[in-house]
Structure 1
Amino acid sequence: MMIYLKAYDLWDSISKGYKLPEGELPNDTLVSQVKKIKDEATKNFKALSLLHSAVTESLFPRIVGATTAKEAWDTLKEEFQGSKRTRAIRLLHLRREFANLKMKASESVKDFVSRLMEIVNQMKIYGEKFTDQVIVEKVLISLTENFDSKISVIEESKDLSTLTVTKLIGSLQAHE
């Protein structure tokens, strides 16, 4: 949703917030200031409208009373991610799951990487940052023993700091 709002140049209404003007504008307000205020209001209500149209019928009542897009966004964020404490605990569990993740003997490389990337993407939602190098290293240390020779070849022939996950997966699938 964030990308959608950014594509329509509406994200600022959420990230910076919008304050509804109280009362009428003074008579000495410049035309440029009035135009800016109207543009900000228009962007806020467009963003709010997009949020209203994007949520399910069960979520709509929770944001229908919001007067600004930021207020609706914060409500949705709380709904899906929980409080700061909840997010921190969830991220801790995901970190543990990431650290303990190993490839199963009966699992294909594609299935293992899918499981890994699902955890990585969930962690990214909670604000964790990942580089390709971290993911590449995790894949290499989590593979089963029958990949040991291929791992050695990859470590010797490629620079792990520049190796992308996609290229690594391609190499491993070819070996598989």
Structure 2
Amino acid sequence: MASHTSGIPSTPFPIFKGDGYEFWKIRMQTILISQDLWDFMGTGFNEADGDRTRLRENKKKDARALSLIQSAVHDDIFSRIAGATTSKQAWTLLQNEYQGNSKVQMVKLQGLRREFETIQMKEGEPVADFLSKVMKIVNQKRSYSEVVTDQTVVEKVL
């Protein structure tokens, strides 16, 4: 089990360089959940909270979440979130730029559905290579919240 120093995981961060956002997002979500910081990505925190102790604790947690996100992006990407003052702002900026809004996501998902339906194993292609391609598409579809059953995957491979 990885040890923690000041709440930051000692395992290496997945560094996002501009490619593979869907998989980076899943890895970062797991890290943020493990640090009990994931809630800030969806709801943020209430700046007008009358409980000063809770507000201070939430600001501290949010700063830790923002720090994790900043640490997990390449310098070329960092400039895009440098102005974000909360973890939710940084997360939303990255999500909008690399995953797109709901309309962009629908278009990407339609393309992935078409790619899944039309993919075929090439003559002489190893089964492992074909399975790898199929699973890459399936995992991308799942990252856009598409439900893909194991039965569907098995039917495609067979």
Verify same fold: TM over 0.5: yes
Name segments (4+ residues, structure 1) moved above 6 Å: none
Task: Give the C-alpha shift of residue 105 in structure 1.
Answer: 2.0
State the SS of the aligned residue for 1:58: helix
The residue number in structure 2 matching 1:132 is: 150
Residue 101 (structure 1) aligned with residue 119 (structure 2) = yes
Residue 112 (structure 1) aligned with residue 130 (structure 2) = yes
The residue number in structure 2 matching 1:61 is: 79
State the percentage of identical aligned residues.
Answer: 44
How many residues align? The count is 131
Equivalent-residue separation in structure 2 for 1:10 and 1:73 (angstroms): 12
Equivalent-residue separation in structure 1 for 2:46 and 2:99 (angstroms): 25
Structure 1 residues 11-50: Cα deviation after superposition (integer angstroms, max 9, x where no partner):
01112212434xxx8xxx6xxx332222211111100111
Task: Give the C-alpha shift of residue 95 in structure 1.
Answer: 0.1
Which amino acid is 1:10 matched to?
L
Structure 1 residues 61-90: Cα deviation after superposition (integer angstroms, max 9, x where no partner):
111111111111000001211222211111
Task: Give the C-alpha shift of residue 55 in structure 1.
Answer: 0.9
Which consecutive unaligned segments of at least 5 residues does structure 2 have?
A: 1-27
Equivalent-residue separation in structure 2 for 1:87 and 1:74 (angstroms): 14
Task: Please tell me the root mean square deviation across aligned C-alpha atoms, in Å.
Answer: 1.5
TM-score (norm 2): 0.77
Instruction: Give matches, 1:19-98, under 5 Å.
Output: 19-21=46-48, 33-98=51-116
Residue 11 (structure 1) aligned with residue 29 (structure 2) = no
Q: Which has the higher contact order (CA 8 A, sep 6+)?
A: 2
Higher helix content, 1 or 2 = 1
Structure 1 residues 81-118: Cα deviation after superposition (integer angstroms, max 9, x where no partner):
12222111111010001011111121111011001011
Which amino acid is 1:17 matched to?
G
Which consecutive unaligned segments of at least 5 residues does structure 1 have?
A: 141-176
